[in-house]
Amino acid sequence: MTLLPVRGLAIALPILVAAALLPLGVSGYILGLLTIAYYFAVFAMAWDLLFGFAGEVNFGPTFLIGLGAYGAGILNSRYELPIPWCLAAGTALAVVGGLALAVPALKVRGPYFGLITLVAVLLLQNMIVVFADVTGGEIGLTVPDVITIDTNTNYWLALGFMAVSGVILTVISRSPAGLILQAAGQDPVVAGALGFNVAKHKIAAFAVSAAFSGLAGGLVVFYMGTASVGTLIDTAVGVQVIIAAVLGGRRTIVGGALGAVFLIAAGELLRPLGALSTFVVSAVALVVILFVPTGLLGLASLRRAQ
């Protein structure tokens, strides 16, 4: 098995080139939307590593995103550390927090892992509100530094980050270690009997997922200049990440990117509907999940498989 699917690259490369050329002909407003969509895509791809490969439903992607975002944001706003340091620290915090959650949570079987991750989000959300003097509480956190104010640079940065993340996650998922991870996710008993430490592989996957989620969360903060519970941690945001990944296709990694761009584009196109737009997007997502449970990309790869 090659680590990068040749066919997939042949399709993805032209799309990426076209996306990179967008700033030449598209308004700054649309570029801003896509910038957010690309970071969102990384959330969704990181989530698919857990759901699609490790076989664990993480209902709290925003716990990891929030740790990365607030970790980076607080260091910058209180101690005025340079942005790269803040991002590194935020990512590390997301990994540590993710491990602190995953190590005990993966010991319990059945649906409890998902419930624990959900509770973790609520805990984080409350902590941020309670320690408002550090975190900005419900008003949100404002960071003094941003990466750049240039729309195009921000856009290219997000696009590049998404592409690199997608490649790394795809390579991991298609590597021998990724194969073991899939086996552990599908049949932990058999995987154990084949000599694989199931917990170790799942925890590693959680750490990788946490690193990408946390780093992307931090980048969003330094793109927008603010962090708030409503935009980064709320369970509704987590649900959006999950919908994006499932919509795009389970076990495909890049499906998450497609789903994220689709969700944000659809939300924007339907904006004239007002409050109804969220409803329509959710309904479309529901229809896809019900009738094409393998997602859009999953459908394509299933066709090939047969």
CA distances from residue 50 to 25, 44, 102, 132, 178 in whole angstroms, order as listed: 37, 10, 11, 32, 11
Instruction: Please identify, using beta-carbon distances, which residue of 31 and 54 lies nearer to other proteins.
Output: 54
- Closest among 24, 37, 28 to 151, alpha carbons compared: 28
Is residue 194 at the binding interface for other proteins, with CB under 8 A as the rule? yes
Q: Is 176 in the site for other proteins (CB under 8 A)?
A: yes
Residue 4 touching other proteins (CB under 8 A)? no
Indicate the length of the chain as a whole number. Answer: 306
Would you count residue 189 as binding other proteins (CB under 8 A)?
A: yes
Applying CB under 8 A, which part among 4-12, 60-68, 100-108, 192-200 lies near other proteins? 192-200
Rule CB under 8 A: is residue 109 a binding residue for other proteins? Answer: no
**Whole-angstrom distance, CA of residue 136 vs CA of residue 219:** 18
What is the number of other CB atoms lying within 10 angstroms of the CB of residue 115? 15
User: Angle, to 10 degrees, between the axis of helix 198-224 and the axis of helix 61-79?
Assistant: 50
Q: Which of 24, 149, 193, 275 binds other proteins (CB under 8 A)?
A: 193
Q: What secondary structure does DSSP assign to 241-272, as a single string?
A: HHHHHHHH-TT-SHHHHHHHHHHHHHHHHTGG
Q: Contact, 128 vs 135, CB < 8 A?
A: yes
- Asked if 210 interacts with other proteins (CB under 8 A), we say no
131, 175, 279, 287: which one binds other proteins (CB under 8 A): 175
Sketch the per residue contact string, 237 through 266, with other proteins: x for CB under 8 A, - otherwise: --------------x---------------
Write out the binding residues for other proteins, residues 154-173 only, by CB under 8 A: 171-172
Provide the binding-site residues for other proteins, judged by CB under 8 A.
1, 3, 171-172, 175-177, 179-180, 182-183, 186-187, 189-198, 200-201, 204, 251, 301, 305
